[in-house]
A = this chain, B = another copy of it.
Amino acid sequence: MTAPTLDELSLLHANICQALGDPKRIQILYALYEQPLHVTALADYLDTPQPTISRHLRVLRQRALVTTERNGAAVVYRLTDERMIAVLETMRKILRDSLSRQSNVLNIM
């Protein structure tokens, strides 16, 4: 297994970012930062249908952002690397600064 080329690295990198590019998945990561949770608990916590949560978790799992551990019939999800939360927090700082500079970023929605 050789080191990835710059293009391959950019592709992997973009894949990670793309997994972060959904508000529900952002919320899932923050929830799992508080504590590991199984699927139904997450679904309840985020007031979201279980299949929807399960699909989002699959995306995060495929990118290795979360890991799983079976506990009876339940599957407990946890963050793979808490540094990812630090990353998200820095992004939020940048975002807040950006918002205070130009308050019309909301228009992109």
A91 to B83, CA, bound (A): 8
Asked if A75 is at the interface of the complex by the 8 Å CB criterion, the answer is no
Task: Judge whether B10 and A26 touch: CB under 8 Å.
Answer: yes
Interface size grouping (class) on chain A? 35 or more
- Residues from 1 to 24 in A contacting B, C-beta threshold 8 Å: 1, 4, 7-24
- A99: contacting residue among B4, B62, B92, CB under 8 A: B4
The answer to whether the Cβ of A52 comes within 8 Å of any Cβ in the partner chain is no
How far is B14's CA from A22's CA once the two chains are assembled, in angstroms?
Answer: 5
| Minimum CB–CB distance for A73 against chain B, Å | 25
How far apart are A105's CB and chain B's nearest CB, in angstroms?
A: 6
Q: Which residues of chain A from 43 to 93 have a CB within 8 Å of any chain B CB?
A: 62-64, 80-81, 83-84, 86-88, 90-93
Contacts of A97 in B (CB 8 A): 81
Residues in chain A within 8 A of chain B (CB atoms): 1, 4, 7-27, 62-64, 80-81, 83-84, 86-88, 90-95, 97-99, 101-103, 105-106, 108-109
23 residue pairs bridging A and B, Cβ less than 8 Å apart: A9-B92, A9-B95, A10-B24, A10-B26, A10-B27, A11-B23, A11-B109, A12-B95, A12-B106, A12-B109, A14-B21, A14-B25, A15-B21, A15-B109, A16-B91, A16-B94, A17-B17, A18-B21, A63-B105, A63-B108, A64-B105, A80-B98, A84-B91
